[in-house]
Amino acid sequence: MCSSDTISKAPFVLLLLFLLLAGDASAQGATNRSSISGFVFGPNRQPVGQVIVELRGEFSTIGRTRTDGSGRFYFPGLPQGRYTIRVLPLGTPLEEKSEDVEIAGLGARGRPLSDNIQQDVYLRPRRDAGATPFQNAVVYAQEVPKEAEALYKRAEEDLNSQRVQSGIVNLEKAVDTFPTYFLALQRLGIIRLQQERYEEAAGVFVKALAINDRCFDCWYGIAYANYAVRRFPESVGASEKAIALKGDSVEANLLLGMAHRLNKNFPKAEQAMKIAAKNSEGNSADVHWNLALLYGKDMNKFAEAAKELEAFLKLSPDAPNKEDIKKLIKQFKDKAATQS
């Protein structure tokens, strides 16, 4: 996930930066052989494959993996301590989810013991799924050779059945057969983005835009990829192109605000994030969190920062580090009182 400077938007790592804490849970008991594993499920207990799962220690990200076709993830070689599992279902209509777990790893007289923790994660549909990028692929009429079309359909069947690698192979074959196959390029770009192969994703989206420059997903994908590799001016430009096509997109307006913020243009960051807040009708925890960062860290608007964190907790009452967030709210309120 990460810091505020990455697309992962990791709120709880950022919180710890706010509190100026330091440390590394991975340094404790390096010889411990404990593990954390589990399955990620969507609605109706359907396994969710090929989504990113992060494991965080108390002060840092320990590792990242992807679920396999059955939705399983696995983190081996862990010392005792408290951890947070965070599932990032990028490009799906499902909400992010975090679960806290603890490895005790202690036997009689405090002797270290291996502990294998099983923690499944159940994802819910996003409230704003209709406004989420990558959910409604552009319908684009093209005369496509039958061989390429058959490969694309086979790829879709594979991807929908969690046979991801086979689906990617068939998409690549479809593009090799018909290099200007827009739908295949668009889908391949989304997959490369999900795989965090950001440079490749941007290159594929550029090819798709050469065929159809009114592709919201493509512009958003380029903005996302550039943000991830810290090219913030380029992310701003692509985000603006995406918003020109879909002005009510919460995700695109938020991404624009985040890119402006890290490009040190705080007034424009606030403007874009407030549009995202309006479009989400106040129901996006991510928007409230990023506004809190902007107000509290960059603009010295401490009363507003406290208000945004309170809104964040209202939407995420089970957030990890909830008590630390409450302390931060109090700190912001105290600072706001000294300003008046």
DSSP symbols for 261-296? HHTT-HHHHHHHHHHHHHHTTT--HHHHHHHHHIII
pTM listed for this prediction:
0.67
Per-residue pLDDT tens for 265-305?
999 999 999 999 999 888 888 899 999 999 999 999 999 99
Instruction: Give the count of alpha carbons within 13 A of 222, CB side only.
Output: 23
Taking each helix axis as running N to C, give the angle between helix 182-194 and helix 164-177, from 0 to 180 degrees, rounded to the nearest 10. 140
Q: Give Cα 194 distance to the centre of its chain.
A: 9
Per-residue pLDDT tens for 110-163?
455 567 888 999 988 876 554 566 654 555 678 899 999 999 999 988 887 778
Which residue in 64, 4, 27 sits closest to 195, CA to CA?
64
Per-residue pLDDT tens for 305-333?
999 999 999 888 877 778 888 999 999 99
Three-state DSSP class for residue 98: strand
Give the bridge partners for 34, in sequence order.
Answer: 78
Report yes or no: 224 and 255 within 8 Å, Cβ to Cβ. yes
Per-residue pLDDT tens for 2-17?
333 434 444 433 333 3
Q: Give the number of other CB atoms < 10 A from CB of residue 323.
A: 9
Q: How far apart are CA 304 and CA 292, in angstroms?
A: 7
Dihedral sign (CA 315, 317, 322, 326): positive
Per-residue pLDDT tens for 64-112?
888 887 788 999 888 888 899 999 887 677 888 889 888 875 544 445 5
The confidence band for 227, taking pLDDT boundaries of 50, 70 and 90, is very high
Specify the pLDDT at position 193: 87
The highest-level CATH class for domain 24-125 is mainly beta
Secondary structure element (H or E) that encloses residue 118, with its range? strand 116-118
Report yes or no: 25 and 58 within 8 Å, Cβ to Cβ. yes
Specify the pLDDT at position 135: 56
